[in-house]
Structure 1
Amino acid sequence: MKTPTLPLIATLLVIFLAGCSKPDFDTTSGSGGNFSQGKWLIINYWATWCGPCREEIPDLNALATQRDDIKIYGVNYDNLRGYALKDAITEMGIQFDSILVDPSPQLAVPRPKVLPTTLLISPAGAVSETLTGPQTTEMLNAALLKAKALQP
């Protein structure tokens, strides 16, 4: 029996590593992670078929540029990946980062049944508020103010 040669092993390694690489666009923030980031997080569930999601995206985009004390992440409800996700983000006009994997299990909250759903995450990484329906910049600012006031 012939043993594999070095070029064959190198080729297999390149193929394996290529499959592990990130997509070649930077609209994603990974597959979840540490939600305790020292600032308030807004996690917004959206889908292309959701009219109210389309309605609130401009407000989320505006809020993301207006405030540096928060970070906004989107979660595609349909679990799109790769170029399908990139195309949906472009179609929706989303300018904030996205999380590739639904964070609801990691955050110990149920997966939303209504879209859009927006989660407010405290700097300690705990879900502070769950908002349903389209949110405006004013509504989100008020919800953040209320949530901050309730924090110890």
Structure 2
Amino acid sequence: MFKRVMVVVAVAATLLLAGCGNDYGVDQHGEKIPSERLDKQWKVINYWAEWCGPCRIEIPELNKLEQQLQGQSVGVFGVNFDGLQGKELSDASATMGINFTVLAQDPAEHFDLPRSEALPVTYIIDEKGKVRAQMMGEQTAAGVLAKIKELKGQ
């Protein structure tokens, strides 16, 4: 009897813990984004649109930044300003040459991000979910990396 109770408790605990992370929806390829990809790590979240000229210049820099940050518990994520979904989001991401993860669901509510009227805009968010910087205009990989190091006190 005790063993059965322990199994039921273990299953219940697992189910409860599985729901603890935030739901970040899917990426530009329709793949579910597990909460571990964003929770408890620093995040660079960039808003872009196909019609935004500076965004087109900035995207290769963000691709480079994502490569440079691999293994450093900092993720680079994009959000389409126009709210494209499904195939439209996938096609736009491919057209723009985006290699980093694009969130189909805008995380603004999760992180209390203000709606920007200008693009591109990049937010740096710490591992606790606090917005640490808002960077307007096109950025370089070196500039964002320097800002992250400054904010981390490195």
TM-score w.r.t. length of structure 1: 0.75
What per-residue deviation string (whole Å, max 9, x for no partner) do you get for residues 88-145 of structure 1?
Answer: 0011000000111222122112111110000101011111101010000111011101
Unaligned runs of 5+ in 2: 1-24
* Partner-residue secondary structure (3-state), 1:109: coil
CA contact (8 A) 1:117 1:130 kept: yes
1:53 equivalent to 2:58? Answer: no
CA distance in 2 between counterparts of 1:142 and 1:108 reads 24
* Partner-residue secondary structure (3-state), 1:74: strand
TM-score w.r.t. length of structure 2: 0.74
* Partner-residue secondary structure (3-state), 1:79: coil
CA distance in 2 between counterparts of 1:28 and 1:54 reads 24
CA contact (8 A) 1:28 1:98 kept: no
Name segments (4+ residues, structure 1) moved above 3 Å: 27-30, 32-36
CA distance in 1 between counterparts of 2:32 and 2:133 reads 22
How big is the shift at 1:26?
Answer: 2.8
Unaligned runs of 5+ in 1: 1-21
Mark the structure with the bigger radius of gyration: 1
Relative distance call for 1:113 and 1:33 in structure 2 (3 A) is: farther
1:144 equivalent to 2:148? Answer: yes
Q: Percent identity?
A: 37
